[in-house]
Amino acid sequence: MKQENKKSVWWKKAVGYQIYPMSFQDSNGDGIGDIRGIINRIDYLANLGIDFIWLNPIYKSPQIDNGYDISDFRNIDPIFGTINDFQELISKLHKKNIKLIIDLVLNHSSDQHYWFQEALNSKDNPYHDYYIWQDGVANTKPNDWVNWSGASEWTYYPQIRQWNYHIFNKRMPDLNWENGKLRKDLLLTAKFWLDMGIDGFRLDAISHLKKMSFNISMKSMRESGQDPWAVHTNVPGLENFLKEIKYAFSGYNIFTVGEASGITPGQASLWTGENGYFNAIFELDQNRHDGYDSKKRPKGNIQAFKKVIFNWETRLNIFGWLSPYLANHDNPRSQQVWGDNRSDSSAKALSLILLSLKGTPFIYFGDELGIGSKNFTSIEQITDPEAQIAYQKTKQEKGNIAKAFTDIANFNRDQGRTPFWWNENKNAGFSDGIPWLGISDGSQGRSAESQIKDPNSILNFYKKMIQVRKSSPSLNQGLFYPLSLEQDSTVNFLRQTNSQLSLVISNLSDTTTQIELPTSIDLDNWLQVIATRPTRLQRKMSLGPYQAAIFMKRVNG
């Protein structure tokens, strides 16, 4: 949205909601969610009380990586609809006071993009330098760089006798940010969407735009005790590109959130805030899912989770701005990793924590129903290309098909991408056709339609929690003070402004756990504003499995 007067910071008190478009609502029976499906569900979103949506890529794409491989930066993929549908979505969302941010993918394009097709014609083609190349012969890669799935970052193109560089899939060549014309062309495509009326961007893979010299080997980095991913993460000089991006957006009153892979809290306090490149960042430390083990409950190690969250919240308390989240399209569902993957109380406790953290929180679609991860039983059920590559690699190296499958069964990204549960009908009301990805178990009796009618449902708890956050200055603006620093599964903290104090207590485990509040906390005059079950505040108290509550009181600044 074009800036009119002074820029407002609407995003500071806002609650975001991430929609994975392929899985939200199919309107035409092809088994894939689409823009019309979202338009048909705007009332549901307005009722939930969220302020803005982050929509994963809907650009034209061969869908090698579910839309992150873009073949036309200025068009909508026909599986999702048309530009007209998209414009209708913006205007109908705005009528309900819901803003829209979309993914902006600046690090790479699809190999089917016109620029790349031109680049393959000859080294002299003007678009050749829009991508990253090294001369060479087949079978001798320019260096040993591999990506997170263990695959080489180089692909040979015999027609021009050159190796092409790509951090992600080989069908997603990296764009050459050293080329000023490329930068200009790319940022003009961003303006194209801003001028259409969107309200911001989630900047995909933004810490990878700059690469180190290709002479440096990952092996030597590892051997000298350095992080091997530093060859293409937050490389010095990146800041110039980020400044250019910020400048391109300066005329717009928008919200930008960067996917800050490999960025430390110290760096993030400069990346965001008053003079930062973006309004907020997503930290990726929590996605390590330390201690994650499919046989344990909760599957992730809550102490490790607490350490990560407390560290980020504390470090970005005064300078910088965080976007807390518990799950997204690249991870298993939060119910699976941090909850028990089934109970209402675990889903409610997680929402209570997420919506009490400092920053601009993002709810992952379906978490408000308690959707759990899907349990895949065969490799054929999994579409995630990263998981397929990792599976083939383990199979080849270890010759053990069962092991290869167990590894990816736990980590593949499809687990958290399954369709929404709209009602109790076929395919949980997601589609009349054959869903592109199977519905996860447990939808019966827990669809949105059923939960709307049940005052004690997870959905109604989310609605209430969103309202509690929005109406409480301590929760939407206050400073963050961690409490439970012990090595246990409780996550307790304070949020405070000059006039209000919130105390958040929770037990993210399957067993009853004792907590003891510090004597610095005066126990008088607290009001319980929301809880997974009624909780009496005491110095020493027992919290049952996934019991969580928020108490508030007025204070004099």
Catalytic amino acids? 204, 259
CB of 519 to ligand BGC, least distance (A): 44
CB of 185 to ligand BGC, least distance (A): 19
CB of 523 to ligand BGC, least distance (A): 44
User: CA dist 314 to 215, 231, 261, Å?
Assistant: 38, 29, 19
The three-class DSSP label of residue 385 is helix
Calculated CA dihedral for residues 78, 83, 86, 90, nearest 10 degrees = 170
493 touches ligand BGC by CB under 6 A: no
148 touches ligand BGC by CB under 6 A: no
Strands (E), 9-71: 16-19, 52-55, 59-60
Q: Residue 527's closest CA among 554, 505, 547?
A: 554
494 contacts 502 by C-beta, under 8 angstroms: yes
CB of 412 to ligand BGC, least distance (A): 12
Q: Which is nearer to ligand BGC, 168 or 312 (CB)?
A: 168
135 touches ligand BGC by CB under 6 A: no
Long-range Cβ pairs for the range 516-524 (8 Å, 24+): 516/540, 516/541, 517/483, 517/492, 517/541, 518/483, 521/494
330 touches ligand BGC by CB under 6 A: yes
65 touches ligand BGC by CB under 6 A: yes
CB of 182 to ligand BGC, least distance (A): 17
CB of 69 to ligand BGC, least distance (A): 8
111 touches ligand BGC by CB under 6 A: no
CB atoms within 10 A of CB 441: 14
Q: Residue 550's closest CA among 349, 292, 250, 269?
A: 349
Q: Which is nearer to ligand BGC, 205 or 326 (CB)?
A: 205
68 touches ligand BGC by CB under 6 A: yes
105 touches ligand BGC by CB under 6 A: yes
CB atoms within 10 A of CB 459: 24
Q: Which is nearer to ligand BGC, 66 or 489 (CB)?
A: 66
Q: Which is nearer to ligand BGC, 373 or 457 (CB)?
A: 373
Q: Which is nearer to ligand BGC, 340 or 414 (CB)?
A: 414
C-alpha span between 109 and 265 (Å, rounded) = 29
Q: Which is nearer to ligand BGC, 38 or 205 (CB)?
A: 205
Q: Exactly one of 26, 51, 153, 204 binds ligand BGC (CB under 6 A); which one?
A: 204
Q: Work out whether strand 154-157 and strand 133-135 pair parallel, antiparallel, or are unpaired.
A: unpaired
CB of 66 to ligand BGC, least distance (A): 7
Residue 442 structure tokens: 């447990």
259 touches ligand BGC by CB under 6 A: yes
What region, left, alpha or beta, does residue 116 occupy, with left being phi > 0 and alpha being psi -120 to 50 degrees? alpha
Residue whose C-beta lies closest to ligand BGC: 68
**What secondary structure does DSSP assign to 504-515, as a single string?**
EEEB-SSS-EEE
313 touches ligand BGC by CB under 6 A: no
Q: Exactly one of 168, 365, 376, 493 binds ligand BGC (CB under 6 A); which one?
A: 168
List helix spans (H) across 10-143.
35-40, 42-48, 83-95, 114-119
Q: Which is nearer to ligand BGC, 168 or 420 (CB)?
A: 168
The dihedral through the CA atoms of 80, 83, 89, 92 has a sign that is: negative
165 touches ligand BGC by CB under 6 A: no
205 touches ligand BGC by CB under 6 A: yes
Contacts to ligand BGC by CB under 6 A:
65, 68, 105, 168, 204-205, 259, 329-330
